[in-house]
Chains A and B, each alone.
Chain A
Amino acid sequence: MLSEQERREIEAHARHYPNNRAVCIEALKIVQQHRGWVSNEGIADVAEALQMKPAELESVATFYNMIFRKQVGKHVILLCDSVSCWIMGYERLREHLGDRLGIRPGQTTADGRFTLLPNVCLGACDHAPVMMVDDMHYQDLDPPRIDEILASYRQEEKSSDGNAADS
């Protein structure tokens, strides 16, 4: 079942569209925001609320890159693998991130802290290579900068006040 909060947020967006179905992508994003990912239960909950067939909603959910149908870590690292970042040496960063985290793209660390995903162009090509961690963009990356960023997320979890990472 959708939580009250999820239901309220979906209803607020539904007002922007002439029918219920149109809000389904927003609804999936809302469920993902609250639950971390969209499980089969999440699909069933949204489908029921919007009076859609679960299979129909599943076909939408699996189409979009940012709807996670598998569990992801606490932080999702999206490393741009498109052409400008490739020219500027993103492959070296992919290796570096993989070594530091002990995972390959598409995997989650054993402690559930980080998921590493390749991602298409993030629209900051003049500052390539770039990546996102959750909602934050990081630009002009090199291995030492990657280490700093990873450390800041590990630090953030240790400190009780949870200082936000820099941009």
Chain B
Amino acid sequence: METPLTHNISPGREPPDLAQYEKAGGYAGLRKALGMSPAEVQAAVKESNLRGRGGAGFPTAQKWSFVPMGDDAPRPKYLVCNADEMEPGTFKDRMLLEGDPHQLIEGIIISAYAIQADVAYVFLRWAYKLAARRMEGAIAEACRHGYLGKNILGSAYSLEMHLHVSAGRYMCGEETALLNALEGKRANPRAKPPYPQVSGLWGKPTIVNNVETLCNIPHILNQGAEWFKSLSRSDDGGTKLYGVSGRVKNPGIWELPMGTSIREILEEHARGMCDGYQFRGLLPGGASTDFVTAEHLDLAMDFDSMKKADSRLGTGTMIVLDDKTCPVGMLLNLEHFFAQESCGWCTPCWSGLSWIEQILQDMEEGRGRASDLELLESHTRLLGPGHTFCALAPGAAEPLQSGLKYFRDDFERHIHEKRCPWSQT
């Protein structure tokens, strides 16, 4: 089984420096790309069926295709790498940032070339201190060796790259909020349209791509779209970083073919539940995805299959709920997070989420009322897509609406028994 993204990564060891990265075949994809036209690079990525790995799964080449090209296009154009990994339960981009920074840098340069960007920013979350040091070192190394700066590798193409270390807020992961943060403002989302591809950073054409998405690009250029598609077990090309956390025997992260089943990830790689714990359900791709349960274990973890089960692939990092953990308590933890991280821009979000948190808190402390279930359900509808500027509130509604469906008996027990059945007292 091929694992292009993690091929150079060995946990606990220093990442490859530039010479080692080149020796392992690094920057060959960039050399190839520079011999092609930007349109040809975009076509190669389109052919590969690469879909964005930040959570939404938008086809990468299609995103790029909206950027104005040619001599009349507004300048400068920007390429932003979204490395603001803050989705609870998600720890995949950190491995790529720490483990093989040159792979990411090469992916950024090729992608920037494809849209003819002049400046690239890596928007990194503040907590990733080791990643910041390694990225900074690798960017400087790439500059010294002519991979960045003026006339890259003797071509007519030039690109500046800067690392921006955020001051921390979940909202910054949202693409338009991230642009506001880069401009030195509060990270509130922007109305779309205009889309960032046309009017993004400082009003100029801008592409925002996730770390894992960008790390795939050198391999697509180097080994071709057909090879990339052959790595996958589904229609989406490539491999995927899948993670598991919670009460499993071997929590961790693995690069596997896109479309690997939940069961295979959970049982073969995470080696099943810890002794004495039973599986009840899981959030398949971070905090803002719908629960799936035992009946869904044979689903393929790809964008379309997970959608058919009314959930989402999201970030592909699963959070497992066991029988000794209270589902209402878990939802309280999740909704507290979303309420706290809401930027306060849209009323349904800041008001609705703190209301939801209060209802769940009451239920956990024995003050639940029979009418609460209906109230929570109405909130999931009011927070659904279309009522807010960004996806934070709809994302917060996903675990709640599916939790109400799959763990209804547990909610009712809280109300009838006037206490949390899992609490010790």
Contact = CB atoms under 8 A, between A and B. Distances in A.
Contact of A126 (B184, B252, B340): B252
Given A126-B243, A135-B129, A63 B91 contact: no
Given A87-B319, A120-B88, A122-B127, A64 B168 contact: yes
Contacts of A66: 126, 167-168
B246 A29 contact: no
Contacts of A25: 166-167, 181, 184
Contacts of B244: 126
Contact of B333 (A18, A82, A135): A82
B330 A86 contact: yes
Contacts of B90: 121, 123, 125
A83 B252 contact: no
B247 interface: yes
A142 to B, nearest CB: 15
Q: Looking at chain B, what size class is its interface with the partner chain?
A: 35 or more
Contacts of B251: 125-128
Interface string A10-35: 00000011110111111011000000
Contacts of A101: none
B15 interface: no
Interface in A76-106: 78, 81-84, 86-88
A146 interface: no
Contacts of B337: 82-83, 120
A18 B166 contact: no
A137 to B, nearest CB: 8
A67 B166 CA distance: 10
B202 interface: yes
> Most A CB atoms within 10 A — which of B86, B283, B329?
B86
A132 interface: yes
A110 B86 CA distance: 32
B245 interface: yes
A150 interface: no
B79 interface: no
A140 to B, nearest CB: 10
A18 B202 CA distance: 9
A65 B170 CA distance: 9
A84 B89 contact: yes
Contacts of B130: 137
B233 interface: no
Contacts of A84: 88-89, 245-246, 319
A123 B184 contact: no
Nearest to A57: B184
A83 B88 CA distance: 6
B281 to A, nearest CB: 12
Given A84-B88, A87-B319, A126 B94 contact: no
A59 interface: yes
Given A120-B86, A121-B89, 15 more contacts: A16-B121, A64-B168, A65-B167, A84-B89, A84-B246, A87-B246, A87-B321, A123-B86, A123-B90, A123-B91, A123-B93, A125-B88, A125-B243, A126-B245, A127-B251
19 contacts: A26-B164, A26-B165, A60-B185, A82-B337, A83-B88, A83-B89, A83-B287, A84-B89, A84-B245, A84-B246, A87-B246, A120-B340, A121-B287, A123-B85, A125-B243, A125-B245, A126-B244, A128-B245, A137-B130
Q: Which 10 A-B pairs have the closest CB atoms?
A: A64-B167, A125-B245, A82-B88, A126-B251, A65-B168, A66-B168, A84-B245, A16-B162, A121-B88, A22-B184
